[in-house]
Amino acid sequence: MASVRETFRVPQGPVDLTAIDPRGRPTGPKDRAAAAKAVTELGTRLDAGQEALYAEGAGGGTRSVLLVLQGMDTSGKGGVISHAVGLVNPQGVQIASFKKPTAEERRHDFLWRIRKQLPGAGRIGVFDRSHYEDVLVVRVEELVPTDVWQARYGEIREFEAELAAQGVTIAKVMLHISPEEQAERLLARLDDPHKRWKYNPGDLDARARWDDYQEAYATALELCDSDAAPWYVVPSDRKWYRNWAVAAILAETLDEMAPAFPEPDFDVAAERTRLLRSTNPSS
């Protein structure tokens, strides 16, 4: 059976996002109850993997994980962070959200603010949006000249290859939703006073250019997918399926890394003796 990552990996060559069903369930649980059970099991696997990675880092290891989350508004980047990333010990996680760049950030290369947020050794970094915005919104809204954003695909490939060589295991996930599902979610945001703060009138401007965004995504997926920095497309119209899929991709990624608990740099038997002699120091 194909692994979860193989199933969701973007196919080689030109990418046709209309051929991927946002309500599809190509592998894994078929309903919400099965997903809940699978996610509980994934939580245990993720916890174990995260702790070993953290320990490896504490012992001098330099490896880390970088999970990049991209998707149209309401596709569930925040939901994935709460329900999939939230399965692991928050001490081992570094989350960075990339919003509209500040004036200072715009004065630097587009990767400048990204480099500052890379995960430390032993950590799982999560990017809520990322350097891909610089070939998505920036391309669709023509915020820079064409030759500038066109050059970025190569710059991103080089950047990610450099990270991989430094021990960063990268997994990039596009949360793939349909425009119909987005309409329902935006409506739910408008109608629920507890969700209204997430709504931004600008979301409708991006929505109006849906096809342009899908085209920009397709180009980024095609040009920036590699074995060192793979792109996954996760059908995300069903939230429970989306959360399961990202948790499973992360768990497989950690499993394959097989992080190792470090060997002690002290004499265990001698410390045991010292400890037993020390018992109850205050009596």
DSSP one-letter string for 201-260: THHHHHHHTHHHHHHHHHHHHHHT-BTTB-EEEEE-SSHHHHHHHHHHHHHHHHHHH---
Taking the least distance from each CB to a copy of itself, the nearer of 66 and 224 is 66
Rule CB under 8 A: say whether 253 interacts with a copy of itself: no
- Residue 1 in contact with a copy of itself, rule: CB under 8 A: no
Residue partners of 263: CB distance under 8 A and separation at least 6: 59
Nearest distance from C-beta of residue 164 to a copy of itself, angstroms = 25
Please tell me the distance from the alpha carbon of residue 175 to that of residue 71, in angstroms, as a whole number.
5
280 is written with which tokens?
A: 């109850």
Q: Is residue 89 within the footprint of a copy of itself (CB under 8 A)?
A: yes
Interaction of residue 112 with a copy of itself, rule CB under 8 A: no
Q: Report the alpha-carbon distance of residue 128 to residue 145 in Å, rounded.
A: 25
| Candidate residues 127, 199, 217, 244; the one interacting with a copy of itself per rule CB under 8 A | 199
- State which amino acid sits at residue 25: R
Query: Closest approach of Cβ 62 to a copy of itself, in Å?
Result: 15
Among 141, 196, 256, 258, binds a copy of itself (CB under 8 A): 196
Q: Helix, strand or coil for residue 196?
A: helix
Instruction: Give 121 or 164: the residue with its C-beta nearer to a copy of itself.
Output: 121
Give the 3-state secondary structure of residue 9. Answer: strand
Binding site for a copy of itself (CB under 8 A): 51-52, 55, 58-59, 78, 81-82, 85-86, 89-91, 93, 95, 97, 128, 179-180, 183, 186-187, 190-191, 193-194, 196-199, 201, 204, 207-211, 214, 261-262, 264, 266, 268, 271-272, 274-276, 278-283
